[in-house]
Chains A and B, each alone.
Chain A
Amino acid sequence: MRYFNFSLALAVVAVAGCAAAFAQAPSYANLGRTATKEEIQAWNQSIGPQGKELPPGSGTAKEGEKIFTEKCAVCHGPGGEGSQLAPRLVGGRGPLNSPTPSRTLANYWPFATTIWDYINRAMPPKQEGSLSASDVYALTAFILVRNEIIPETQVIDAASLPKVKMPNRDGFTPQRLQDIHDLRARGCTAGHCP
């Protein structure tokens, strides 16, 4: 039995060697362990523009205002107007065709899902992860309402957030996400895109 296993191992090595010669990736047995569903859910904080990873929960601007006043206003200002400590979250609208375009959240950010993702992963500093999913929905709703992007009473949740169209969504080139990856097709050359 031991001998049999040994020759089998040799055969596997030989096959792996052949595979490598044909530039196929060899299989590295027993390297890495399978991630469980629970682990993936716990680790995966990424929220894309489709919002398919958004967790259950919901929030309104009214609920968000309370949390904002308590946890965010100290840096971002009572009305989200920004301060020396943190950028402006409300206002700053204006034309972008200028050498000094206003790159505020309301005027520039293309996706509302990015607001949720960033609050969830990075805010408040030193207390990241302390907000519940509903807290993050509520804060996102508060910011969107204050910027007059959604109506005051709109509930923000996993279904409604990806549907929010930010004012500058069409201000990027290439506009379609599926066209971004191909630098050559976009006409980019030597580090510069049109």
Chain B
Amino acid sequence: MSSKQSPRRQFLKNGAALAGFAAGAISSGSGKLFAADTPAAGAEALHAYGARSHFEDDVRMGRIAMWPVVPGVQRDYGFRSPLQDSIGIITPAPLHFIISHGHEPPDINPREHRVMIHGMVDRPLIFTLDEIKRLPSLSRLHFLECHGNSATSGPTGDPRKAPNATVQETHGLTSCSIWTGVPLSVLLSQVGVQKGASWIVAEGTEEGKHTKSIPLEKAMDDCLLVYGQNGEALRPEQGYPLRLLVPGWQGINNVKWLRRIYVVDQPYMGMMESTKYPSVRLDGKSRWFESEMGPKSVITRPSGGQQLSARGFYEITGLAWSGGGAIRRVEVSADGGRTWKDAQLQEPIARKAHTRFGLPWTWNGEETVLQSRCTDDQGHVQPTLAELAKFWGVDMDYFRLPPTTADMGNLNAIQPWRVSRDGSVSNALL
């Protein structure tokens, strides 16, 4: 199987090869382990902080958004993670999906960074990053997912529905990391939350200072202030030096570059949460604060744009996750949904984290459709698109409309991939 090579991707590959050459790396086939003339600076850089092999070329993929914020500078709607090449359950930080609502990461000196917790508290406090790091830390595996991931509506609806869509285009707005930090409940205990408080408002440091209201109950339950991702400091685009983690909930809650937590008695209705993230029902009413991401899975190999090279053995593998808890079961169908088999779940299986599944499969060379469905430990089963349509009170033609502005998020429908007789794999959602 090989990944579809877009012109952009091919360009990036060539660019990476050129960069490798410039840094003194040798090209393959020379038979030498090290080039005799490798500049010391290049080798030093490689040893001090490792780079991946220049043969590895998957990158995040951006999509041009509706409005450039600054004339002439295109704002990007979101950078998608290359799930088709994902290995295991950890997303390398440099490939973790990014949504920053068009804002670039601020350049924050961690020694100068402060977080204020105030509002309906007994002792409003300001913490340095060093003080937060002095608290007992913990590490947890958690996925993040944009509520618009896999949506058929909105600005990226068309590429998501296209027959030639890759899993990066259909599902690339989710990633999974091992996050390190401190429970938000510990800091809230330090400040002493007052009676009558019921929400927090978290705020970032970037231009535009994104805010998100989160129920106090969730804040006290399992939210974390994290400074570590996969064993190192957060990357700038992931909120360096400190971000909020709200496990299992829509990505918008996970405020990056966190600078303030305001304890209040109602949701504060920031611009994003009150005007951009609600979904509009057909009767015109909008659902807001849908918050939790439902059970979802997707086959990452074989997936859209890939090519089966010959009939014979393949492992069907993919990722499953749920904002409701741990994944208990993943079933895979390799015959268009007629029969389903239990896939093997790989350890570790953590709550609100990606779980890797696999099922041995022999392709007989005939056309077929592959799909996966997961069940979480609450007993909730990933729905088909038809089941979601029924829940939303729409017919299947609704999903075939040009990208709508209703913004039906949290779309966790089963994803079918069609394998053609020539071995090509395509998107069979609609």
A interface with B by C-beta (< 8 Å): 25, 27-28, 31-35, 39-40, 43-50, 74-75, 84-87, 95-103, 105, 108-111, 113-114, 117-118, 121-122, 125-126, 128, 171-173, 177-178, 180-183, 188-194
A172 pairs with B278, CB closer than 8 A: yes
A-B pair count, CB < 8 Å, reads: 202
Nearest Cβ distance between residue A7 and chain B, in whole angstroms? 24
Q: Which of A31, A86, A114, A194 lies in contact with B270, CB distance below 8 A?
A: A114
CB-defined contacts of B41 to chain A, threshold 8 Å:
none
A35 pairs with B126, CB closer than 8 A: yes
* Known contacts A171-B285, A190-B324; A44 and B260 CB within 8 A of each other: yes
Judge whether B36 is part of the interface by a CB distance below 8 angstroms.
no
A164, B84: Cα distance in complex, Å: 50
Please choose the segment from B63-71, B236-244, B364-372 that sits at the chain A interface, where 4 or more of its residues have CB less than 8 A away. Answer: B63-71
Nearest Cβ distance between residue B244 and chain A, in whole angstroms? 15
B interface with A by C-beta (< 8 Å): 67-71, 116-118, 123-127, 131, 134-135, 185-187, 189-191, 198-199, 201, 203, 207-209, 211, 215-217, 259-260, 262, 264, 266-271, 274-276, 278, 280, 282-295, 322-324, 376, 378, 380, 388, 391, 394, 398, 401, 404-407, 410, 412
Q: Which of A45, A99, A100, A109 lies in contact with B274, CB distance below 8 A?
A: A109
Q: Which of A44, A75, A96, A105 lies in contact with B262, CB distance below 8 A?
A: A44
The interface residues of chain A, by DSSP majority, are classed as loop
CB-defined contacts of B323 to chain A, threshold 8 Å:
191
6 residue pairs A–B, Cβ–Cβ below 8 Å: A46-B201, A96-B285, A98-B282, A101-B280, A114-B269, A194-B287
CB-defined contacts of A102 to chain B, threshold 8 Å:
405
A37, closest chain B residue (CB): B124
A85 pairs with B67, CB closer than 8 A: yes
Q: Which of A33, A96, A109, A111 lies in contact with B280, CB distance below 8 A?
A: A96
Q: Which of B70, B191, B290 lies in contact with A191, CB distance below 8 A?
A: B290
B380 pairs with A189, CB closer than 8 A: yes
A188, B209: Cα distance in complex, Å: 29
- Given A48-B266, A114-B270, A190-B324, 19 more A-B residue pairs with CB atoms under 8 Å apart are A25-B190, A27-B190, A40-B124, A43-B259, A46-B268, A48-B267, A49-B268, A75-B71, A85-B67, A99-B401, A100-B405, A118-B271, A125-B70, A178-B198, A181-B267, A190-B295, A190-B322, A190-B378, A192-B410
A101 pairs with B266, CB closer than 8 A: no
A183, B288: Cα distance in complex, Å: 11
* Known contacts A43-B260, A190-B295; A114 and B380 CB within 8 A of each other: no
Nearest Cβ distance between residue B231 and chain A, in whole angstroms? 24
B283 pairs with A97, CB closer than 8 A: yes
* Known contacts A128-B208, A190-B378, A192-B410; A87 and B126 CB within 8 A of each other: no
A33 pairs with B294, CB closer than 8 A: no
B127 pairs with A34, CB closer than 8 A: no
CB-defined contacts of B268 to chain A, threshold 8 Å:
46-49, 117
CB-defined contacts of A117 to chain B, threshold 8 Å:
268, 270-271
A32, B207: Cα distance in complex, Å: 26
Q: Which of A44, A49, A191 lies in contact with B292, CB distance below 8 A?
A: A191
Nearest Cβ distance between residue A92 and chain B, in whole angstroms? 11
B378 pairs with A44, CB closer than 8 A: no
Nearest Cβ distance between residue B215 and chain A, in whole angstroms? 4
A95, B405: Cα distance in complex, Å: 13
B134 pairs with A101, CB closer than 8 A: no
A50, B264: Cα distance in complex, Å: 11
A126, B398: Cα distance in complex, Å: 39
A181 pairs with B282, CB closer than 8 A: no
B127 pairs with A31, CB closer than 8 A: yes
A191 pairs with B270, CB closer than 8 A: no
Nearest Cβ distance between residue A105 and chain B, in whole angstroms? 8
CB-defined contacts of B135 to chain A, threshold 8 Å:
28, 31
CB-defined contacts of A118 to chain B, threshold 8 Å:
270-271
A105, closest chain B residue (CB): B275
CB-defined contacts of A47 to chain B, threshold 8 Å:
268
A50, B293: Cα distance in complex, Å: 30
A128, closest chain B residue (CB): B207
Nearest Cβ distance between residue A52 and chain B, in whole angstroms? 10
Nearest Cβ distance between residue A140 and chain B, in whole angstroms? 13
Nearest Cβ distance between residue A72 and chain B, in whole angstroms? 13
B199, closest chain A residue (CB): A181
CB-defined contacts of B388 to chain A, threshold 8 Å:
192
B287 pairs with A173, CB closer than 8 A: yes
CB-defined contacts of A32 to chain B, threshold 8 Å:
117, 125-127, 131, 187, 190-191
Q: Which of B123, B209, B394 lies in contact with A121, CB distance below 8 A?
A: B209
The 7 closest A-B pairs by CB, nearest first: A191-B294, A97-B284, A25-B189, A32-B125, A96-B284, A181-B215, A190-B380
CB-defined contacts of B267 to chain A, threshold 8 Å:
48, 177, 180-181
Q: Which of A46, A85, A96, A177 lies in contact with B203, CB distance below 8 A?
A: A46
Nearest Cβ distance between residue B173 and chain A, in whole angstroms? 15
CB-defined contacts of A75 to chain B, threshold 8 Å:
71
